[in-house]
């Protein structure tokens, strides 16, 4: 299966759980399981290629000029992590089906889970570091949704915010590091970066890049000092915790360190930073885990400790350390997922995770006891279980590692961490399952059905199988290790076996296990000492830092950001003026190369009207209606100015926009007082007047000097004039720019326009459904209204000219590629024609004859424009590349067919839909306000079910 499908399946599959939610819990879980299974099977189809040592590649150019390409790579390392993500994901889905209660929205849960799964698969298969960063941030966002899934729990919301804050900040740092790395190599493709070890390590920016990338890895994998967020993420449902801690999220940082190992490791900086952070995290997490009473908290800090162990192994920079890290990633995923699911079973059946309230569950829950005990003993490093093998390899590597010039430091700390690791594992077994049966459990514990215990049991089978027969995992682990090492080193020839003789690692392991048993024996006095000892609390420190940052931000921002637009405009204008003055005073201005053109009386008259309207608007702006009229005059004069400067497209656009906006603003002003109150002091008005005069004079001076001089370089207009017909097939340069050269800008603009209209509609819906509705029903106009709301002459005239205007709009649309016009202008013309129907015949009459909802018109426009752009991909062209040809259909003359016309059609529909949806929203408010006093038979259609009851009743009476 193509790598694109493997990555895309979870994202597209995320649409299904919500759709299947009403079909039942089993159907929702079943469709989620099927999607993950399809991706899992698709991954396995590439297994023969990976086992042969080859790399599967897939690539589509996305934004090649920026170095961002959708390129994917599947080697041994990527296959290993994708196998864990999808394989354990299948077990988590099956487990979650039986774990979640009927009150939980299962469709929402599995939607989040698939989004998270797809983001993780995208990380491990990315061959472009910019693409990897996109998926990296998606994991932070989707994990935020999963951790905070139980929104009713304050600790769930807090844990989600903490995880997003810490990993998000680390992600920002990593973006900087990756950009530096790409600049050093000259490419953002991982397959190229991994071949330039010497170039990267010799560059002076190696250390900044290393630190920034490691910040991203450490925050994601909860390494000290960022370890505190992971235990607080345990507030998520247990299936989420099991997935996060075993195969996803926290393993993303580990994966990236392993992926970048060939080019970043082997230097003193890498060794000191990574090894030290890993050792501290390993010891600190193990010590804290021992004294946690919440079962999931104990397991969460154990994850922190084992992530530190893996980080320390990668930090050593040796091939054996890398192989031990890969092996422990596999082992940790199996026993940790089984342990978290076992903790969920206990919580699900006993209704508590407090170890102090448990004990004696061995007899009540024998199946769970067997699963959890085997997984815990593996985590403790007991022989014949897989955790023992990778722990021995870790101790062997630690024995040969010298840190800070002290030979015994790393072995001692590794043994110490292993001792506490064994102790908390023994505590988990002894304090939860052993001992007498109690009679004060919150609920009567018993083994659940197979739906809950079978997924962890399958993982425990792997724990035992690898522990008893390690040779079955050796070839695969060495294959993955070869991908980690790259060309930097050869895979060690060491064999995986249970007995290596009387080596130092064995003695260190014996000390750790014996010390763990001894620590369990003296647990109670140790706990009293732990509780009494003063120690910093990472969560408290984090919250204090956040509070301090928020307070500082408020002190800096609130004096400036007080909601007064005049202050923002004044500050912005002063800064722009100061920067412009500095550039002007320090630069050089050549002599004028052009002469002033003569201005005729018509030009001067137009200029005086523009100045007069602008000045009048400033002086009389408190009268809202008069200001709106003056704004219309200014817009009209600007349109005439465009005609004067031979810009008919701009003139037509400006004129039609003015008509539509004036109508919409008149509707909005209908709900506002006639005049604006005086709120600014005299001093502030004097300040604003001075700033405005300075800004205006500066703009005038710059424009004056610029227009008297020729451009230093060739203007971009020369390119557009030369390539408009040759490249876009049109002689109207303005339209070709909009639909071809800068089509992406236009596409974004129609999306923004549609969003604005939808927001207006949403706001109107909110107002009509709230207390404002009652106020509108009781609203009385400021002045008496005319009795005839719809003059007959206007009604007849608008209906007669409607087809004519539509024909004009159609003509303007078709001629736009070669003459002034186009989809935007045509959309505004048609919108004006429809607006006139509303004005002449009323909202009810016009809406009753509406066949297509304006929401759908906007969506159709955006969809048509987008599909037109996507069509270029099928011909190997970038997004929104247009094409044209000429055809002859007898008896007509030869004419042009251009794909840009389809894009322009999308623009046309989006404009019509946005304008009319905005008008309809305002009209509904206006109609509701005027209904009690001025109902009109033509205005109300009582059959419409979207009208308020009061209006429907009044409509029936009027009819």
Distance CA 405, CA 398 (A): 14
Burial zone of 778 (CB within 10 Å; 0-12 exposed, 13-18 middle, 19+ buried): exposed
Cβ atoms of 97 and 27 closer than 8 Å:
no
Query: Three-state SS across 455-503?
Result: HHHHHHHHHHHHHHCHHHCHHHHHHHHHHHHCCCCCCCCCCCCCCCCCC
| Rounded-to-5 percentages of helix, strand, coil across the chain | 75, 5, 25
Reply yes or no: is the peptide bond before residue 225 cis, omega within 30 of 0: yes
State the DSSP code for 646: T
Phi, psi of 157 (to 5 degrees): -65, -40
The structure tokens listed for 393 are 């390899």
Distance CA 286, CA 282 (A): 6
Asked if pLDDT for residue 640 goes beyond 60, the answer is: yes
Residue with structure tokens 């109609």? Answer: 927
Q: Within a 10 A sphere around the Cβ of 696, how many other Cβ atoms?
A: 12
pLDDT tens, residue by residue, 324-339:
999 999 999 999 999 9
Q: Within a 10 A sphere around the Cβ of 120, how many other Cβ atoms?
A: 30
How would DSSP label each residue in 792-812? HHHHHHHHHHHHHHHHHHHHH
State percent of the chain over pLDDT 90: 36
pLDDT tens, residue by residue, 254-270:
999 999 999 999 899 99
| Highest mean pLDDT out of 45-49, 151-155, 484-488, 889-893 | 45-49
Average pLDDT over residues 87-99: 93
Q: What is the pLDDT of residue 96?
A: 92
Tell me the C-alpha to C-alpha distance, in Å, between residue 585 and each of 578, 579, 588, 726: 10, 10, 8, 43
Element counts in the chain: helices (H) and strands (E): 42, 4
Confidence label for 61 from pLDDT (cuts 50, 70 and 90): confident
Q: What is the pLDDT of residue 955?
A: 35
Average pLDDT over residues 805-828: 88
| Highest mean pLDDT out of 142-156, 170-184, 594-608, 647-661 | 170-184
Cβ atoms of 675 and 626 closer than 8 Å:
no
Average pLDDT over residues 164-191: 91
Burial zone of 300 (CB within 10 Å; 0-12 exposed, 13-18 middle, 19+ buried): buried
Residue with structure tokens 């590439």? Answer: 46
Q: What is the pLDDT of residue 331?
A: 94
Confidence label for 705 from pLDDT (cuts 50, 70 and 90): confident
Confidence label for 781 from pLDDT (cuts 50, 70 and 90): low
pLDDT tens, residue by residue, 113-147:
999 999 999 999 999 999 999 999 999 999 999 99
Average pLDDT over residues 331-359: 91
How would DSSP label each residue in 390-428? HHHHHHHHHHT--BTTBTTHHHHHHHHHHHHHHHHHHHH
Distance CA 46, CA 842 (A): 65
How would DSSP label each residue in 279-340? HHHHHHHHHHHHT--BHHHHHHHHHHHHHHHHHHHHHT--HHHHHHHHHHHHHHHHHHHHHH
Residue with structure tokens 């209660």? Answer: 101
Average pLDDT score over the chain: 85
Asked if pLDDT for residue 946 goes beyond 60, the answer is: no
Give the three-state DSSP class for 926: helix
The structure tokens listed for 372 are 């959890």
Q: What is the pLDDT of residue 701?
A: 86
Residue with structure tokens 């083994």? Answer: 447
Residue with structure tokens 């002033």? Answer: 596
Distance CA 31, CA 930 (A): 51
Asked if pLDDT for residue 462 goes beyond 90, the answer is: yes
Q: What is the pLDDT of residue 784?
A: 54
Average pLDDT over residues 366-372: 94
Asked if pLDDT for residue 936 goes beyond 60, the answer is: no
pLDDT tens, residue by residue, 63-90:
777 778 888 999 999 999 999 999 999 9
Is the four-CA dihedral 488, 490, 494, 495 of positive or negative sign? positive
Asked if pLDDT for residue 942 goes beyond 60, the answer is: no
Tell me the C-alpha to C-alpha distance, in Å, between residue 48 and each of 53, 249, 727: 9, 28, 47
The structure tokens listed for 599 are 């201005």
Distance CA 155, CA 83 (A): 32
The structure tokens listed for 517 are 């048993």
Residues linked to residue 406 through DSSP beta bridges, in sequence order: 403
The structure tokens listed for 813 are 């649309």
Cβ atoms of 676 and 624 closer than 8 Å:
yes
Tell me the C-alpha to C-alpha distance, in Å, between residue 824 and each of 650, 868, 887, 918: 11, 17, 26, 16
Distance CA 884, CA 867 (A): 17
Phi, psi of 224 (to 5 degrees): -55, 135
Distance CA 487, CA 484 (A): 9
Asked if pLDDT for residue 953 goes beyond 50, the answer is: no
Give the three-state DSSP class for 63: strand
Per the model's pLDDT, the better-predicted residue between 924 and 632 turns out to be 632
| H or E segment and range at residue 895 | strand 895-898
Confidence label for 39 from pLDDT (cuts 50, 70 and 90): very high
Burial zone of 294 (CB within 10 Å; 0-12 exposed, 13-18 middle, 19+ buried): middle
Q: Within a 10 A sphere around the Cβ of 820, how many other Cβ atoms?
A: 18
State the DSSP code for 740: I
Phi, psi of 458 (to 5 degrees): -65, -35
Q: What is the pLDDT of residue 822?
A: 86
Q: Within a 10 A sphere around the Cβ of 15, how many other Cβ atoms?
A: 12
Query: Nearest 5 degrees, angle CA 276-CA 281-CA 285?
Result: 160
Average pLDDT over residues 418-422: 94
| Ramachandran sector of residue 405 (left: φ over 0; alpha: ψ -120 to 50; beta: rest) | left
Confidence label for 574 from pLDDT (cuts 50, 70 and 90): confident
Average pLDDT over residues 143-171: 87
Residues linked to residue 885 through DSSP beta bridges, in sequence order: 897
Cβ atoms of 693 and 860 closer than 8 Å:
no
The structure tokens listed for 327 are 């092996």
Q: What is the pLDDT of residue 937?
A: 34
pLDDT tens, residue by residue, 510-545:
999 999 999 999 989 998 888 888 877 777 888 888
Reply yes or no: is the peptide bond before residue 891 cis, omega within 30 of 0: yes
pLDDT tens, residue by residue, 265-295:
989 999 999 999 999 999 999 999 999 998 9
The structure tokens listed for 510 are 């014996």
- CA proximity to 448, closest of 440, 457, 439: 457
The total number of residues shown for the chain amounts to 959
Distance CA 211, CA 198 (A): 18
pLDDT tens, residue by residue, 220-261:
998 988 888 888 888 888 999 899 888 888 889 999 999 999
Burial zone of 406 (CB within 10 Å; 0-12 exposed, 13-18 middle, 19+ buried): exposed
Distance CA 433, CA 439 (A): 14
């Amino acid at each position: 299966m193509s790598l694109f499908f493997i990555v895309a399946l979870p994202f597209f599959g995320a649409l299904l759980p919500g759709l299947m939610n009403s079909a039942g819990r089993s159907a929702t879980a079943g469709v989620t399981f099927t999607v993950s299974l399809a991706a899992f099977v698709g991954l396995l189809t590439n297994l023969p290629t990976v086992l042969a040592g080859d790399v599967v590649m897939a690539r589509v150019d996305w934004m090649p000029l920026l170095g961002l390409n959708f390129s994917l790579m599947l080697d041994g390392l990527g296959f290993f992590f994708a196998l864990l993500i999808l394989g354990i994901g299948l077990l988590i889905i099956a487990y979650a089906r039986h774990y979640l209660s009927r009150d939980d929205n299962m469709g929402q849960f599995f939607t989040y889970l698939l989004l998270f799964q797809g983001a993780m698969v995208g990380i491990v298969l990315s061959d472009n570091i910019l693409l990897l960063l996109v998926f990296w941030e998606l994991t932070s966002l989707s994990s935020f949704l999963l951790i905070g899934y139980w929104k009713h729990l304050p600790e769930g919301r807090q844990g989600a915010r903490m995880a997003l804050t810490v990993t998000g900040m680390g992600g920002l740092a990593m973006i900087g590091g990756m950009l530096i790395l790409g600049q050093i190599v000259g490419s953002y493709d991982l397959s190229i970066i991994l071949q330039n070890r010497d170039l990267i390590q010799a560059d002076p920016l190696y250390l900044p890049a290393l630190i920034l990338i490691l910040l991203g890895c450490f925050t994601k994998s909860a390494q000290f000092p960022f370890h505190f967020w992971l235990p607080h993420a345990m507030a998520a449902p247990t299936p989420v915790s099991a997935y996060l801690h075993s195969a996803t999220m926290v393993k993303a940082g580990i994966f990236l360190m392993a992926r970048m190992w060939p080019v970043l490791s082997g230097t003193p900086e890498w060794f000191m930073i990574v090894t030290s952070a890993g050792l501290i995290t390993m010891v600190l997490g193990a010590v804290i885990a021992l004294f946690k009473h919440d079962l999931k908290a104990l397991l969460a800090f154990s994850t922190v400790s084992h992530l530190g162990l893996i980080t320390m192994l990668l930090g050593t920079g040796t091939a054996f350390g890398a192989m031990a890290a890969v092996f422990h990633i596999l082992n940790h995923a199996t026993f940790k997922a089984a342990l978290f699911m076992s903790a969920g079973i206990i919580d699900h059946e006993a209704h508590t995770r407090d170890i102090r309230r448990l004990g004696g569950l061995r007899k009540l829950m024998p199946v769970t006891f067997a699963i959890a005990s085997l997984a815990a003993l593996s985590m403790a490093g007991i022989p014949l279980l897989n955790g023992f093998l990778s722990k021995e390899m870790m101790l062997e590597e630690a024995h040969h590692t010298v840190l800070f010039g002290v030979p015994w430091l790393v072995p001692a700390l590794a043994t110490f961490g292993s001792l506490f690791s064994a102790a908390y594992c023994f505590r988990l077994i002894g304090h939860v399952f052993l001992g007498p049966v109690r009679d004060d459990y919150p609920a009567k514990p018993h083994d659940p059905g197979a739906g809950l215990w079978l997924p962890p049991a399958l993982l425990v089978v792997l724990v035992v199988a690898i522990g008893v027969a390690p040779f079955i995992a050796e070839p695969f682990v060495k294959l993955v290790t070869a991908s980690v090492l790259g060309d930097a080193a050869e895979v060690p020839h060491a064999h995986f076996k249970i007995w290596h003789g009387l080596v130092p690692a064995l003695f260190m392991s014996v000390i750790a296990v014996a010390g763990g048993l001894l620590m369990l024996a003296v647990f109670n006095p140790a706990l009293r000492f732990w509780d009494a000892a003063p120690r910093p609390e990472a969560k408290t420190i984090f919250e204090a830092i956040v509070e301090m940052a928020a307070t500082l931000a408020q002190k800096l921002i609130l004096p400036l950001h007080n909601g007064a637009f005049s202050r923002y405009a004044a500050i912005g204008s002063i800064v722009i003026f100061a920067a412009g003055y500095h550039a002007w005073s320090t630069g050089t201005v050549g002599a004028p190369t052009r002469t002033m053109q003569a201005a005729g009386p018509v030009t001067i008259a137009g200029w005086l009207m523009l100045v007069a309207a602008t000045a009048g608007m400033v002086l009389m702006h408190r009268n809202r209606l008069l200001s709106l009229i003056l704004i219309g005059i200014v817009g009209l004069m600007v349109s005439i100015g465009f005609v004067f400067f031979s810009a008919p497209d701009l003139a037509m656009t400006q004129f039609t926009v003015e008509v539509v906006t004036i109508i919409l603003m008149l509707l909005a002003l209908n709900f506002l007082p006639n005049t604006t109150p005086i709120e600014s002091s005299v001093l502030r008005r004097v300040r604003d007047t001075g700033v405005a005069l300075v800004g205006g004079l500066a703009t005038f001076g710059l424009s004056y000097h610029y227009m008297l001089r020729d451009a230093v370089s060739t203007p971009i207009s020369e390119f557009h004039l030369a390539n408009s017909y040759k490249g876009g097939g049109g002689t109207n340069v303005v339209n070709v720019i909009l639909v071809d050269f800068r089509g992406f800008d236009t596409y974004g603009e129609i999306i923004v326009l549609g969003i604005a209209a939808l927001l207006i509609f949403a706001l109107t819906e909110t107002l009509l459904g709230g207390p404002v509705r009652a106020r509108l029903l009781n609203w009385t106009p400021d002045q008496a209204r005319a009795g005839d709301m719809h003059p007959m002459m206007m009604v007849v005239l608008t209906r007669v000219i409607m087809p004519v205007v539509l024909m004009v709009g159609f003509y303007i649309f078709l001629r736009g590629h070669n003459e002034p016009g186009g989809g935007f202008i045509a959309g505004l013309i048609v919108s004006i024609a429809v607006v006139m129907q509303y004005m002449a015949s009323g909202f009810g009459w016009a809406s009753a004859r509406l066949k297509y909802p304006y929401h759908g018109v906007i969506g159709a426009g955006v969809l048509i424009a987008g599909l037109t752009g996507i069509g270029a991909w099928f011909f190997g062209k970038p997004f929104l590349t247009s094409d044209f040809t000429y055809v002859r259909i007898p008896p007509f003359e030869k004419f042009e067919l251009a794909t840009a016309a389809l894009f322009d059609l999308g623009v046309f529909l989006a404009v019509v839909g946005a304008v009319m949806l905005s008008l309809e929203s305002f009209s509904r408010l206006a109609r509701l306000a005027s209904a009690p006093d001025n109902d009109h038979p033509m205005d109300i259609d009582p059959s419409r079910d979207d009208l308020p009851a009061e209006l429907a009743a009044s409509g029936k009476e009027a009819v």
